[in-house]
Structure 1
Amino acid sequence: MRYHVWAGSALAVLLVAGTAGCGNGDTDATGPGPDPGPVASSTASSSPSAAPDLDAGEELARGIDVPWGLAFLPGGDALVAERNTGRILRLSPGGGTPEQVTEVPGVTAGGEGGLLGLAVSPDFADDDLVYAYFTAADDNRIVRFRLDGGQPDVVFSGIPKASFHNGGRIAFGPDGMLYVGTGDAGDTSSSQDPASPAGKILRLTADGEPAPGNPTAGSPVYSLGHRNVQGLAWDPEGRLFATEFGQNDVDEVNLIEAGRNYGWPEVEGEGDTAGGRYTNPLVTWSTREASPSGIAITGGNAYVAALRGERLWVVLLDGDRLGEPSARLDGYGRLRTVQVAPDGALWVTTSNTDGRGDVRDGDDRVLRFPAR
């Protein structure tokens, strides 16, 4: 569908009145300025429960150009999106040379934009469909296509773009709906505007229509008040958690609930929750420690990939709360994406070739940490 702005004030009143977080979101570094350089279904309830062994990592591939999206096919192979080239690569759990399966047409890379999130249809065995979120000439959009060829079909478009704050993570939830993390594209007021898809988490059908049961009928908006969302993951109880970049103070992990308001730009980190207007984050870091992009949940923990922080944060899940984060994998540089594979292994991509990192020999790479 082509995203459109809804007329009338009644819609805004309905959505905002039902909201309750405070969102801080993307760039990969602090501050609102421009970038100086540049799942299969959910990552949750269907994943094995064993925690990954973070001391037993192996490199599956290297020399990848800004790997961003990562999604698994039913047989265990992974699809990896290259942000700047628009290529999608297929990679076996056993490693080896990645195979290019397609190149998404119309990708306009620049700053933080380009080919971003990937998601595999929950019905892939029957429909062979893969979804991609990317920056085009005039907007950010979502397309779907078959790996056996053919032109992609646009299922959702009109998400504002900029050189920064493009969001980009997409994932199918346990309910079979497509969830989309967007950024404010530098226009902070859009995050509080229920008629804009920017600065939101959207919930769509597989055809790109507003999903049944959304907070406002006919609207794709599931939650608002976000600055830039680049991580989505569900726990075994079906609860959605999202990562969000801060501006100057703190980065966040939020528990996402339908219709809630996560505060940006009125609040960064914890703030005014009087009358339930905004929802506070569960975990915060200083921006120098995190800039959190991907998130995955398995083995009772949330795993958060940090860009500026150059580490993997491991956070214990404790009901509706999160435990004290501990830092791991601090020797690989910037970490962009983390996903749980069908066999329970944790896959992590580095992001040192994105114009902000210190490029190491072999960057960028895909790493695998087996389940214990």
Structure 2
Amino acid sequence: MDKRIRIGGIIAAIIFAILIWVSPSNPPPIPEPVTEYGNEYVQVLATNLEKPWAIGFADDKIFVTEKVGRVRVIESGILLDDPLATLRTANVFGGGLLGIAVHPAFDRNHFIYVYYTYEKDGALWNKILRITESNNKLDAAKTIFDNIPGSVYSNGGIIKFGPDGKLYVGTGSVSDSHGPQDIQSLEGKILRLNDDGTIPDDNPFSNSPVFSFGHMNPKGLGWDNVGNLFVTEMGPSKNDEINLVQSGGNYGWPEQECSGNEEFIDPINCYDPAIEPGGIVFYYGDKIKLENSLVLASLRASHLFNLEIDEDGVKSQKSILSGLGRIRDVAVGPDGYLYLITSNTDGKGFPDASDDKLLRIVK
């Protein structure tokens, strides 16, 4: 896209935005101090997104969900006017159209999966819909998993395909419920599904989609290069967590927040005060120089963080980008660069005239 917004003079969380025109081969530099690594280049690929939540990739296309129910398409760097799909979603603060996952064999089947909140007979629920895309339009849609309990504030919503080809789903905890501790309930879980919504034979609990339980409100899923799964979780008001997920593991909610009970698995990091973690991704590319592979988006903290971890947990955490406001999701594109979306129009931020944005970090 030929239009670029120059993001300049980011000191702490204060933005002084200067709009300029640049060519694709000469993106605007961000002056120091932006990161721990010196000058970086950031390109703005789309503006005026409405409550965006998650990012998915397929060839030269980028799919972004908007909580109001739209799946937007950025093709060859241009935001298309018409959404790929518009869904009827519940208008609640913590719900709506949330996660998106592109099938690993999208070039053959054109499958896209979305997770969204809806209302039925006065109750809130979540479902997973499989969309068949054709020329940036919805060609067919099928519900492959349904009846996940919903709430006004906590619906989880993150979905991603793992390196094993299975679909992983983070579900939220309904208020005043002990469902996350009940294996028969779908609340507060990481689910593991086949791509058609059926239950894999090698799940830890027989005939159950549950992979792990005792979660509060999962918001990000990411795998390292040896296949370990990490999940970010928002706490009720503090005690946000990053968990290393074990098959069949119990992470304590609502009996435990962070640590204190040997019956449950402790997180690798606990945040008090809260940072409202969003998406998480491991970066092993060579386009961007990072000290560590783990990258974490945060909403309340308004930073993109780079974390050093080992077998004992998080050793250090550094900000590599700030000044954009609330950052909801981060992902690695097929071109090897980092992509992120802001979340300043979600009702808790301070949006500018062009929020929300999809951005690409290119150096």
- Superposition TM-score, scaled by structure 1 size: 0.80
Asked whether 1:141 is paired with 2:127, we answer yes
Give CA-to-partner distance per residue, 1:44-64, whole Å, 9 cap, x none: xxxxxxxx9982111111100
Please tell me whether the aligned partners of residues 65 and 83 of structure 1 are also in contact (alpha carbons under 8 angstroms).
Answer: yes
Partner of 1:65: 50
Compared with structure 1, are the counterparts of its residues 225 and 54 closer, same or farther at alpha carbon in structure 2 (3 Å cutoff)? farther
Q: Take 1:102 and 1:53, find their aligned partners in 2: how far apart are those partners?
A: 38
Find the counterpart in structure 2 of residue 47 from structure 1.
Answer: none
- Tell me whether 1:130 sits opposite 2:112 in the alignment: yes
Aligned to 2:23: none
> 2:247 maps to which residue?
258
Q: Is residue 2:50 matched to residue 1:91?
A: no
Query: 1:287, 1:308 within 8 Å by CA — same for their partners in 2?
Result: no
Local SS of the residue matching 2:258: coil
8 A contact 2:130–2:142 mirrored in 1:
yes
Tell me, in whole angstroms, the C-alpha distance in 2 between the residues paired with 1:113 and 1:208. Answer: 21
* Alpha-carbon displacement from aligned partner over 1:267-306 (angstroms, at most 9, x marks no partner): 1112212xxx211111122244x11011111134211111
- Residue 352 of structure 1 corresponds to 344
For 2:39 and 2:296, locate their aligned partners in 1 and report how far apart those are by CA, in whole Å.
Answer: 13
Aligned length: 313
Q: Which residue of 1 aligns with 2:101?
A: 119
Q: Letter of the aligned partner of 2:189 in structure 1?
A: K
Cα pair 1:244 1:252 within 8 Å, conserved: yes
Q: Which has the higher contact order (CA 8 A, sep 6+)?
A: 1
3-state SS of 1:227 partner: coil
SS in 1 for 2:108: helix
Aligned to 2:201: 212
CA 120–165 in structure 1, closer or farther in 2 if over 3 Å, else same: same
Q: Which has the higher strand share?
A: 2
Structure 2 CA distance for aligned equivalents of residues 211 and 287 of structure 1: 38
The CA deviation at 1:327 is: 2.1
Q: How does 1:179-190 map to 2 (within 5 A)?
A: 179-190=168-179
Question: CA RMSD, aligned part only?
Answer: 1.8
Cα gap change, 1:116 to 1:247, in 2 (>3 Å):
same
Counterpart amino acid of residue 254 in structure 2? P
TM-score by length of 2: 0.82
Match of 1:25 in 2: none
- Answer yes or no: is 1:78 the counterpart of 2:62: yes
Which among 336, 339, 346 is matched to residue 328 of structure 2?
336
Deviations 1:173-201 (A, max 9, x none): 00000000110022431111111111000
State, as a whole percentage, how many aligned pairs show the same letter: 38
Query: Residue 126 of structure 1 aligns to a residue in which SS?
Result: helix
SS at 2:119 equivalent? coil
Runs of 5+ consecutive residues of structure 2 not aligned to the other structure: 1-36, 285-291
Amino acid at match of 1:89: R
Unaligned 5+ runs, structure 1 = 1-51
| Whole-angstrom distance in 2 between the partners of 1:100 and 1:119 | 20
| 8 Å contact from structure 2 (residues 133, 140) kept in 1 | no
Any conservation in 2 of the 1:76–1:341 contact (CA below 8 Å)? no
Task: Report the CA distance between 1:151 and its aligned residue.
Answer: 3.6
